[in-house]
A and B are shown apart, each in its own frame.
Chain A
Amino acid sequence: MTDEDPLKGYRGKARARLIDLGLRVWDDLELKTSRGAFVGILLPRSEQADDQHLVLKLRNGYNVGVLVDVVESAVVHDHKEAHYKIPEGTFPMDPAKPNVTLLGTGGTIASRLDYRTGAVIPAFTPGELYGAVPDLADVCNLTTKKLFGIFSENMGREQWLTLAREAAAAIEGGADGIVVGHGTDTMHHTAAVMTFMLQDLPVPVVIVGSQRSSDRPSSDAALNLIHACTSAGLGPVAEVLVCMFGPTSDVFGLLHSGTRVRKMHSSYRSTFRTIGETPVAMVSRDGVKPIRQKFRARDRSRKVKLVDTWDDRVSIVYYYPNMKGDVIDSLVERGYKGVVIAGTGLGHVNRPLYEPLRRAVAAGLHVYMTVQTLWGFAQMYVYDTGRDLLEIGVVPLSNMLPEVAYMKLGWALGQSQEREEVKRIMLTPIADEITEREPPNGYVVLQGGIPEVDEFLARGYR
């Protein structure tokens, strides 16, 4: 703590003035300014903020910014450094309860606030989690392991490989279920690749996060975590699942197949939706209630098959009208091995891309087609464009979601670079990434404003 910058976050003019005044962050002080006096604690400043102000936490708990230009003098009364320690309880062990291993990748599942500084301190060890969400102990025995502490957008090849290996090891070590704490932005990418890397699962692997940070009373974090532990420890579905809110109300969670799930809203609690299918199950405090009849059932005797490989020379190209061929050319030039195109409609791109694609395929690029509509199938036999692309060597991926296809292509290329073998891997579903049929309720985007829909929304909880 002491080797930390005593003027954390302050730069330029503000920093110079603070040095002048002999002040450090966490000083409890009285500032005399040409506008009057301000009494409080000098807080660190956000790195992105300007160099014109200093931030005080007043006695009443509020923060205010004071222009350094108006500061005349300062009297320091005390110095109160923040202490970032979370008190731990002991997570109770009950032999009658299932053993769940929680693997942390980042994203706060639980946290506590230091009101004086406003810092949010993540809680992660079982003891800390027990302090924050004591009801977890009603569900399972908990073991935790923090793998990384990163935002989900920073997840990448190394993290996926580590996560898969750690999950496999924990399962072999006897866990009755795995919960993965994960930021929500790329949760569906991780869910997809875990489905490919962790095959023949004997127990559930449940990925969970929160849309509202755990430092707020209305957070979905605690309930999501309870739902995830319930699904992992007691649920019957031994698949890679994403467990997040069903509706935005605190009613139940949904368990989505790791290869059919997608984040569909930038901030809503019920942002995750299964695309082109129904979710696997519903989960509440009362337990897991399957929605689909077919799923891989929990079976401790099965042995997990770890396929831990991923070639990161893959890309995803979101097609737009008027796209130029050099986009494709540059991928080949930069040494990419595979590309997933999110095409329009049934899987289309414009004519100027034909020649670049032909050159790319000839140069060894593996080119796959998905649809940017998300719902529906790539069906390239219907129009001339599609037939032309097939002739060029672009492989349609049926109803595989673009992000899932991207994750799978990296995984397939990690196993083989041989065109036909890669194609075989890509087109052979491991889980639900390609389904044979889209049930009528697999595509439901209710349109608000239609009287029947509004009536429906008024009846239940949103």
Chain B
Amino acid sequence: MDTSNPFAMSMEDFRKLGFKSGLEVHQQLATRQKLFCRCPVGYQHREHDAELLRHMRPTLSELGEYDGTALMEFKTKKQIHYQLFQDSVCTYEMDDTPPFPINQEALDVGLRVAQLFDCNLVDELHVTRKQYLDGSIPTGFQRTAIVGIDGALPLAAHPARVLQIGLEEDACREVRDEGHHVVFRTDRLSTPLVEVVTDASLQDPREVVEAAELIRRVLRSSERVRRGAGATRADVNVSVAGGTRVELKGVPRIAWFERLVRVEACRQRLLLDIRDQLKQRGVSQQRFQAVIRDVTELASKLRLATLRKAMKRGDVVLGVHLPGFGGLLDKPVQPGIPFAQEFAGRVRVIACLDEMPNLVHTDDAACWQDRERELKKLREAFGASHVDAVVLVWGPAEDAHTAADEVRLRALDAIQGVPSETRQVFADGTNDFERILPGPDRMYPDTDSPPVRIEAERVARLWAERPPRPWERLARYRELGLSSVLADDVLLQGPPSLFDRLLERTGARPVDLAVALAQRLVSLTRKGKRQGRPSEAALEALFRRLAEGRLAREALPELLASMDGEASVDALVARLAPTPAPGGEVSEVVERVATRELADCKATDAEARLRFAMGKAMEQLRGRTPGQALRAALAARLG
């Protein structure tokens, strides 16, 4: 197998790599208000009203030392700016008011989702704080609670487990992150989310996709989830044998999953190959000495294009000598991305040096072309041989030193193999460093929120009202004669319960109803021809007419596009689809066609003559009588 081409590998290849993956799916809930305050849920598309400036300071961990993530984020010393909105953010989101009691509507949805996954529900909800120092939440922690544990995810090949269902508040949206400043919009903050966490039993990229698809369908079945951009985001955990759990953060689309996990699994394998090579060269963590030296003066003589701007700014240039790393920095670890990017990513985030390229190294052949003498000088400055590498970083003194140290730390990680990281993802399947993966030691009780008892009656009521599981629903829709695609559309777009209700109340043909609800209305909305669905009552009136034969199916598309309220159905039908022709008129037309118009028909065989007659009749009755009935009447008349 060729791990440098992740897209050409088979599922079997990934299993051989010891591929393991688990999902954490975050789904916004369609509640009216936020989780811990009474602000309305929704996005703002206008300029913000005010701004807040904060910093995050790591709190001491158990050993009196800051944990990896905390330390890293403090190193970056970010000024965190929050954009506030008068009408969708209150002093709770600003972290200036303690939380209000948890949103009961959201708790119901959380419990319902946990039931859909057959979880063990908790009897008492305990709100917990999960620390985030990246600034995405002004408190520095996310309020989160477990509603159920140990559920089932019935995949085709084997049953995976749902480890837990959490109910938590969403974080801010990042506007930009430049240098020492990061800007967040607070509108999304505190929107209720459910988090579905699976075990790490997904064994190849396709299974990851299957699991994600299934989770999405279960969530949609609850019919209380938000849709649209950013409403569902997943973190995908990936590891291979010998590797480490790496979290691919905030994957917005299922379509991205397969290529992302393919690339990540291979990246881990390629990093392990690099580790093996280092080991062969006798590089060990204990003996590794990365000398850092100020080479600003030397760098000014190198006249490298990448460094020219830095020199003009008066940046400090530091070199890091990495013994044993020679020839490795240019090795690809992702399609089109060399190992050196692993260092650049760390420097970008941790030293806040985000103007790319932010480093230069001795393995970069293009950079040193026709500059052999300068390269030699640089190597000499560090006493570096060809098995060694030298990395140059630059910036304001403090940042440059952070950067150089980060290069040294990343090199140490490389000797071990795959560092445990959270990585940001790109549409092409590649990823880049975002932060060190936080350890489990960042949870503590929210002393501001009392435990919430979950009464047995509440659980029983939710259980009685629970919607069918997606697989149950799909089976039933198939029995109703829907194609698998249409059945799935009803499940995902439906909404399925509306489909079920209208079907029962109107007696319409399942296919008509399904196409209208899950395809036609969806596409009309998508194209901007409609603002949402017509009211349930209006749809009911419409489909009742159809079922009773008082409306021709042909008129549906036009009606769906233009109807709004219930009252408009009658008016619209009158205008666009005149009342179906009374039986008398239909017979008259049939008679007229049979006796007069058919005379113009040249064809002799019965089928063709019927087609001709049908055409003539439809000219007079289109949209006013069911085609099948007309056809039958004509056939009977023509004999």
Contact = CB atoms under 8 A, between A and B. Distances in A.
Contact of A217 (B58, B443, B451): B58
A64 B146 contact: yes
Given A60-B164, A218-B95, A462-B51, A112 B61 contact: yes
Given A36-B120, A216-B141, A267 B96 contact: yes
Contacts of B180: none
Interface stretch (B126-134, B252-260, B583-591, B624-632): B126-134
A58 B120 contact: no
Interface in A110-133: 111-116, 118, 120, 123, 131-132
B326 interface: no
A284 to B, nearest CB: 12
Contacts of B53: 249-251, 461
Contacts of A53: 123-124, 451, 453
Contact of B140 (A62, A65, A111, A217): A217
B126 A215 contact: no
Given A52-B453, A60-B163, A65 B126 contact: yes
Contacts of B594: none
Interface in B114-170: 120-126, 128-133, 138-141, 144-146, 149-150, 163-164, 166
Contacts of B568: none
B94 A36 contact: no
A267 B98 CA distance: 7
B129 A216 contact: yes
Contacts of A454: 49, 86
A61 B145 contact: no
A268 B63 CA distance: 32
A249 B62 contact: no
Contacts of A123: 60
Interface residues of B, number: 61
B94 A248 contact: yes
Nearest to A119: B444
Interface in A416-439: none
A2 B455 CA distance: 36
Contact of A62 (B58, B126, B131, B139): B126
A323 interface: no
Interface in B61-100: 61-64, 70, 84, 86, 91, 94-98
Contacts of A217: 56-59, 70, 131-133, 139-141
A38 interface: yes
A16 interface: no
Contacts of B453: 50, 52-53, 65
A457 B145 contact: no
A17 interface: no
B490 to A, nearest CB: 33
Contact of B120 (A38, A222, A251): A38
Interface residues of A, number: 59
A461 B51 contact: yes
Contacts of A131: 60, 64
A35 B118 CA distance: 10
Contacts of B63: 87
A172 B93 CA distance: 46
B52 interface: yes
A269 B442 contact: no
Nearest to B137: A218
Interface in A317-348: none
A397 B86 CA distance: 40
A63 B120 contact: no
A112 B451 contact: no
B35 to A, nearest CB: 16
Nearest to A222: B57
Given A53-B453, A61-B128, A62-B126, A36 B443 contact: no
Given A58-B149, A217-B59, A269-B96, A63 B128 contact: yes
A35 B124 CA distance: 13
B445 interface: yes
Given A35-B121, A36-B120, A132 B126 contact: no
Contacts of B139: 212, 216-218
B57 A462 contact: no
Residue from B64, B139, B163 with most neighbouring chain A CB atoms (10 Å): B64
Given A60-B164, A115-B61, A218-B95, A458 B50 contact: yes
A55 interface: yes
B96 A216 contact: no
A49 interface: yes
A33 B163 CA distance: 17
A70 interface: yes
B592 interface: no
A213 B128 CA distance: 15
Nearest to B84: A462
A214 B95 CA distance: 13
Nearest to A251: B53
Residue from B96, B133, B144 with most neighbouring chain A CB atoms (10 Å): B96
Contacts of B444: 113-115, 118, 120, 215
Nearest to B118: A36
Contact of A219 (B57, B60, B70, B451): B57
A67 interface: yes
A458 B49 CA distance: 5
Interface string A53-89: 1010011111111110010000000000000001100
Given A112-B61, A217-B57, A458-B49, A62 B144 contact: yes
A218 B442 contact: no
Closest 10 CB pairs of A and B: A65-B124, A217-B140, A61-B443, A87-B64, A112-B60, A36-B120, A67-B123, A63-B126, A249-B53, A218-B140
Given A218-B138, A268-B97, 11 more contacts: A53-B123, A63-B126, A63-B445, A66-B122, A87-B63, A118-B444, A216-B129, A217-B57, A218-B56, A458-B51, A462-B94
